[in-house]
Structure 1
Amino acid sequence: MAKSSTSDRALGLPELLAQIAVHLSPPSLAVCARVSHHWNDNFTPPLWHTIDDSLYFWPTLLHLYEHLDQVRQIRRVQDRIRHGLQKYGHHIRHLSVTNEDFAKVVSQDGASLRLESLSIVWSTRSFNWTDGLDMLTPDTLAVEKEAVAVVEKGGILHPDAAFNWNFTKDDWVLIQKFWLLVFRVPGLRSFKFFVPEHRELLKVITPQFFRGPLAAQFRTLTSVQLDFEQLDLLDFLETLPNLQHLYTGYDSIKDGTLKKVYPRLRTLVIDQTLSGTTFYNLLKHLPGLEHFGVGSVLKILEHENCYGYNNNNENDGIPVQLRGLHLLDEFDEFDYDTMADIAYDILPGLPFLTELTIDAVYPSLGFVLVTYCRQLEVFRCSENIDSIHCDGINERRGINVMSDLLESCPRLRVFDAITHEIIPNRIIRNPWVCKNLEVFRCQLTGFSRLDSDEELVYKGVVQAMESTRDMILSEEQDEICDQHQRCQTQHHQVYDRLASLTELRILDLGHQLINPEHRNNSDPYVESLNRESHAGRTYIHDNGPIFGSMELSLPSGLARLRTLKKLEVFGFTGVDHRIREPELEWMAKAWPHLEVMRGLCEGQILGAVDCYVTSALRRKMQKLRPDVRHENFEPEGSTSVCLRRLF
């Protein structure tokens, strides 16, 4: 610590002693001093080691002054952040920023940080926190000079006069300060900079930029996530010799052909479609690649004899160690040939594959995976559908298509395919070999459930038999009783299969999502939904539950899942679950680690109120387990699924 700092702090000791000495004996004072010393040495550094302004108390702090006018609010918030950085910033090693005020303070006062990783991300929010500023245009040179002059030595970036500017002076200054911060932080190993709504801010990033004033800083980087406008992959890998993880956005790779081997790269995500030739060229020259994310892989010409590992002489002998393949594009029914090509031509050449992310599943995919990739541990299918009720919205995905994985891949830990369906007869007939499954997100449909009319008949039979043992059933009644018994048997056997998965942390059996276009109450879709009144309020039912989905009541066998002691997430949105208060009381006790419940959350239609039964159940669960969060699962798309896993 600097002498001046020590002296300044020592001046306050007499006052401090005067306040507490009357309450403590000298030995107690000594103990307090030692505790304070140990606290600062042992607890403060870990507490400030990783800062994410979207977690814990930070969102509350950043909104403390919302009641003030905008200028005073921004100044107060920034002063609080600046004070924290000045006092504890030297402890921060990993910094993730999503708030504009936080970003502004960091860009101005972050030079003293000793960061190892820096992340600045805006998904839908604008950089512009000041309105009414002049817009930069090619011929407003004076404004441009004023903006750049704010930054030390004219800034890092220099705009091209021919470029069509459409962002404000503050935007330009901010991006300058971001790169200056990168420049000033020695030893930075990872940075992430995403502004999807303002990609023009990154159009100034050219290949020459990385050979410019920041070249020395970049040489220490091991991970980069940046939505480049154009990226020369060859030039980039040459400039960053220690790079291990690279993500770049849509259509950013100018030239994906490599002529030299780069063994250090472990992760490469390129959100664009590659030809089969380029795909295998990258695998050949990136022998250390473990995870590869691409939009899709296509043949260049129809007459090519597949670009597969064993059928293309150019690819013979490539030591493909790839463990994760992540296909980010959405597929539809017209992409069957592409899916077949990927299944039959690419996957057989990836014998070490343990993770696969893909948009849709087809019969050929499951067959090839269990034939050539039995070591698969993680399978994710993205959720690019509007609702679990697919009739009239989307074509229903295949049934039982990926069951082969559960039956043939013993190392499978994650089966994340909520758009997929498995029927109970398949589950009962074929045992699962994945005993260490931790995540199971899939629809279980096809149970022999009674419809509403049949249930009335069955209840009548039960009531009648309680008083008349020798009751003679009609043919219809006899069939309904047999169907009920078959359904009970199905449920018990499926429950037993799920109960055997004692490592399960996530069990999600359905989801129901409303397209954002349908969130307006004036939309005809919303107006067509069923309504009912209860206690003076109107409730909207967003479709009905899926007929034939799994019942989750105690009479159906729910208690058989008492073995799932590690369960953290339980989802049943859109399922005809029949959960009532007794089931909630059982869950609250049987699953001590439960953190999230999906199925009792409020509806997603703007202004609509969910079913009063659901509201009552949610309130009941909140009393039983106030620590359990209720949420609707929002799909983040295959790209986000991939990035959450890779970075």
Structure 2
Amino acid sequence: MARPLPWEIIRIVGHYLDPPQLLVCMQLASSWIPPLIPLLWSTICDQSYNWHKVLKQDNTTEIWTEADDQRLCDLFVKYGHHICELDVSSPHLIAAASSAGTCTNLRSLRFKFLDLRRPYNHLSEEEQRGITPGPLISPVFEEHLQLILPANQGQGQGDLVGQTRLLDGRNLVQHIWLLIRQNTRLRQLNLCKDISEVAMVSSSFSRASLAILHDLEELDYSPDHLHLSEILNTLPKLRSFGTSLTSGESDYLLPMPHQLERLDLRKATMCGRTIQNLLDNLPGLVSLTIGAFHLQGWMGTELVRLQKSRKSKPSQLKELYFSHISLRLSYEDYWAAQLLIPRLPCLTTLVVDRDSMKIAQAAGEHCRQLRVFRQAFDGISIHPVDGFQLEPNSVCKMLETCLDLEELDAIHHKMEVQSILVKPWVCTQMKVFRCQIIGVNRLTVEEQRVVDSYVASGRLCSRDSLEGEERLAVERLVESREHQQAILGRIGQWTSLKTLCFGHEYRNHRLYQLDKPPYYTVDGVEYLQYDGPIPNTLELSLESGLEQLAGLKDLEVFGFEGLDHRIGKAELDWMAVNWPRLKIMRGLHVDTMTHVEYDVRRAELREYFQKLRPDVVHATKKTSLGLGL
């Protein structure tokens, strides 16, 4: 009879298995149960795998019964002391973990979106007022729990089931807070805002409950009744705090310093004075996220005073995120560039609104350690649909001064050939480059016809012997090709590059919203007259220097939407061979614009490349919302 494997070896094997696989091993070999139980129960995340099959041990149905509740509670009573990380959204899991009383060794506790109000929002106002709160789960909630009734969503017929669900949601909030109070050694706590939408605990209760978490280092919580200064005073070891509340400016003014490292105020719009206060009183702050920058109630002499003091107090901040859009071409962009960016010489990551030109320029001037510059919002089109255009060359300075730059993801920003070739680029480790390169001085349709005729004639004479239109067209072509080869030669030196995009969806997507949009007819079918490709962009042909990009062996994404490119089958043959890791191509995908004419040439090229590289996906980039994610 074979001797059983030592527990040490079983645990090593167990570290490479996910929970369902661990459960199968335990079912097949009873000797593996003791060493694998701690691994199976160390982390429970009910959204990362079929957790009901692990915890219910039943593969037949997902319907939950009272017997399942009891079985789940028994499992938590038996194994809850093994759990170190609990990431849940299931009410059954939360109630079982709280009721068991054994889940007292948690280091990380995260509650996802619960949508507690949906089951009972059909109740009428009278029915809502008639609901009598049931008994409290624990006496600790006496006088600290307030039932929140949703606004009337329309008249409907309520029933006992709806009222029961309302009270179940109220009980669930109690289970959540009881579980928190049972785990005084928590280091990470994430409370979704939904827990306050059915029942809300008092400020004194939440403050007292948080105060016993002496080791808490990370907190994501949106309390309606606690200010930032109260949170920091209650939790002296806190290193990271995030909230979704949009409180007033005074809620974020700190009277005393704190060693907080990460602060996420993703929905708060702040004036510079408040940001200055945060930087002054959080000397260890590494990452700051705010909604937007504004100047309301903060003008005149206040700006002058702050402008004079900006250089005397440099901050150690490394990451700055503006999480949603601010006004275009506003004073906010100018004053943020004047007052805020110069105080951040250690900045390595900057995520801003797509239209923040002045901030981009200031970052290249003052943030020499910058590694990531990203626009938070891509938009649907880079075409100036409202007549608004960004000034070109706002991001050029970063290429010249930021030695460690790895990501320049700013597709709405334009770079002119004449400007970017003036000075050398110092960055060598670029991984993501998404910018428009314009001003290539491409040939007109007529000039291209003249050149094509000259080439087709087979005359191999020198340029000096050419005259008239041919001479002008050929000279312009040579100059344009030289510029493109120089640019692609520089990009080709970024051998770590993974994403290279020169365009995004470019046409005016709002044309179909106009009263009388321009139409044209082909074979009796009406189409919208969209804007044509962006002029004077890279042609990306082999003749224009595409071969300069042969060193990009790690390239995974290549995009040329909106370019007046000359990519043909020869170029696609070259890409298929020289970019072995290519996964996504943006520019030959199926067009989804409204009333757009079918592009036969584009379809032919897509089908041709699909035969060469069936592993490559043809798709446009999804519009990014908030932080560019």
Report how far residue 514 of structure 1 moved: 8.1
Report how far residue 224 of structure 1 moved: 2.6
Query: Which amino acid in structure 1 is aligned with residue 94 of structure 2?
Result: S
Is contact 1:226–1:249 with CA below 8 Å preserved after alignment? yes
- Structure 2: any 5+ residue segments left out of the alignment? 20-38, 54-59, 154-164
The separation in 2 between residues aligned to 1:159 and 1:606, in whole angstroms, is: 52
The separation in 1 between residues aligned to 2:187 and 2:577, in whole angstroms, is: 45
The separation in 1 between residues aligned to 2:245 and 2:255, in whole angstroms, is: 23
2:277 maps to 1:284: no
1:376 is matched with: 370
Query: Which amino acid in structure 2 is aligned with residue 557 of structure 1?
Result: G
CA separation of 1:607 and 1:547: change in aligned 2, threshold 3 A: closer
1:482 is matched with: 475
2:533 is matched with: 545
Query: Which amino acid in structure 2 is aligned with residue 355 of structure 1?
Result: T
Report how far residue 578 of structure 1 moved: 3.3
1:13 is matched with: none
Report how far residue 209 of structure 1 moved: 4.4
Query: Which amino acid in structure 1 is aligned with residue 346 of structure 2?
Result: F
The separation in 2 between residues aligned to 1:606 and 1:301, in whole angstroms, is: 45
User: Which of the residues 210, 227, 230 maps onto 1:235?
Assistant: 230
1:216 is matched with: 212
1:245 is matched with: 240
Query: Which amino acid in structure 1 is aligned with residue 345 of structure 2?
Result: P
Cα deviation per residue 1:9-65 (whole Å; 9 max; x = unaligned)? Answer: xxxxxxxxxxxxxxxxx56x968999877633653478998787777x779x9xxxx
The separation in 2 between residues aligned to 1:527 and 1:551, in whole angstroms, is: 30
2:627 is matched with: 640
Report how far residue 433 of structure 1 moved: 0.9
CA separation of 1:226 and 1:214: change in aligned 2, threshold 3 A: closer
CA separation of 1:465 and 1:138: change in aligned 2, threshold 3 A: same
- SS of residue paired to 2:321: strand
The separation in 2 between residues aligned to 1:47 and 1:576, in whole angstroms, is: 56
Query: Mean Cα displacement is larger for which, 586-595 or 183-192?
Result: 183-192
2:39 maps to 1:40: no
Report 1:84-483 matches (<5 A).
Answer: 103-110=90-97, 116-120=107-111, 130=119, 134-135=122-123, 140=128, 143=131, 145=133, 160=146, 165=151, 169=166, 178-179=176-177, 182-183=180-181, 187-194=185-192, 201=197, 204=200, 207-213=203-209, 215-217=211-213, 219-229=214-224, 231-253=226-248, 255-294=251-290, 295-298=292-295, 300-306=297-303, 311-312=308-309, 318=313, 320-333=315-328, 335=330, 337-360=331-354, 364-365=358-359, 368-383=362-377, 385-390=379-384, 392-465=385-458, 475-483=468-476
Report how far residue 586 of structure 1 moved: 2.6
Report how far residue 92 of structure 1 moved: 7.4
Query: Which amino acid in structure 2 is aligned with residue 226 of structure 1?
Result: Y
Report how far residue 430 of structure 1 moved: 1.7
Cα deviation per residue 1:497-544 (whole Å; 9 max; x = unaligned)? Answer: 1011222222121211789988xxx855997577878xx999989643
Is contact 2:588–2:605 with CA below 8 Å preserved after alignment? yes
CA separation of 1:544 and 1:226: change in aligned 2, threshold 3 A: farther
Report 1:617-628 matches (<5 A).
Answer: 617-628=605-616
Report how far residue 227 of structure 1 moved: 4.2
2:497 is matched with: 504
The separation in 1 between residues aligned to 2:527 and 2:10, in whole angstroms, is: 56
Is contact 1:320–1:349 with CA below 8 Å preserved after alignment? yes
Report how far residue 629 of structure 1 moved: 3.9
1:589 is matched with: 577
Is contact 1:308–1:345 with CA below 8 Å preserved after alignment? no
2:56 is matched with: none
Report how far residue 424 of structure 1 moved: 1.6
1:20 is matched with: none
Report how far residue 407 of structure 1 moved: 1.0
The separation in 2 between residues aligned to 1:627 and 1:95, in whole angstroms, is: 38
Cα deviation per residue 1:250-297 (whole Å; 9 max; x = unaligned)? Answer: 522552222222113433435323333322222222111112222215
Report how far residue 589 of structure 1 moved: 2.8
CA separation of 1:316 and 1:577: change in aligned 2, threshold 3 A: closer
Query: Which amino acid in structure 1 is aligned with residue 259 of structure 2?
Result: P
The separation in 2 between residues aligned to 1:581 and 1:461, in whole angstroms, is: 22
Is contact 1:602–1:609 with CA below 8 Å preserved after alignment? no
Cα deviation per residue 1:594-644 (whole Å; 9 max; x = unaligned)? Answer: 33333334444479897454445444444444444444323433x434xx6
The separation in 1 between residues aligned to 2:445 and 2:200, in whole angstroms, is: 63
The separation in 1 between residues aligned to 2:337 and 2:82, in whole angstroms, is: 48
CA separation of 1:510 and 1:363: change in aligned 2, threshold 3 A: closer
Is contact 1:324–1:355 with CA below 8 Å preserved after alignment? yes
The separation in 1 between residues aligned to 2:459 and 2:368, in whole angstroms, is: 53
CA separation of 1:202 and 1:161: change in aligned 2, threshold 3 A: closer
1:576 is matched with: 564
Query: Mean Cα displacement is larger for which, 181-190 or 151-160?
Result: 151-160
Query: Which amino acid in structure 1 is aligned with residue 343 of structure 2?
Result: G
TM, length-normalised to structure 1: 0.73
2:157 is matched with: none
Is contact 1:597–1:628 with CA below 8 Å preserved after alignment? yes
Report how far residue 405 of structure 1 moved: 1.3
Query: Which amino acid in structure 1 is aligned with residue 258 of structure 2?
Result: Y
The separation in 2 between residues aligned to 1:300 and 1:622, in whole angstroms, is: 57
Query: Which amino acid in structure 2 is aligned with residue 277 of structure 1?
Result: R
Is contact 1:48–1:92 with CA below 8 Å preserved after alignment? yes
Report sequence identity in percent: 28
Is contact 2:323–2:627 with CA below 8 Å preserved after alignment? no
- Structure 1: any 5+ residue segments left out of the alignment? 1-25, 62-67
Is contact 1:279–1:297 with CA below 8 Å preserved after alignment? no
The separation in 2 between residues aligned to 1:428 and 1:319, in whole angstroms, is: 33
CA separation of 1:393 and 1:48: change in aligned 2, threshold 3 A: farther
CA separation of 1:32 and 1:49: change in aligned 2, threshold 3 A: closer
The separation in 2 between residues aligned to 1:504 and 1:47, in whole angstroms, is: 39
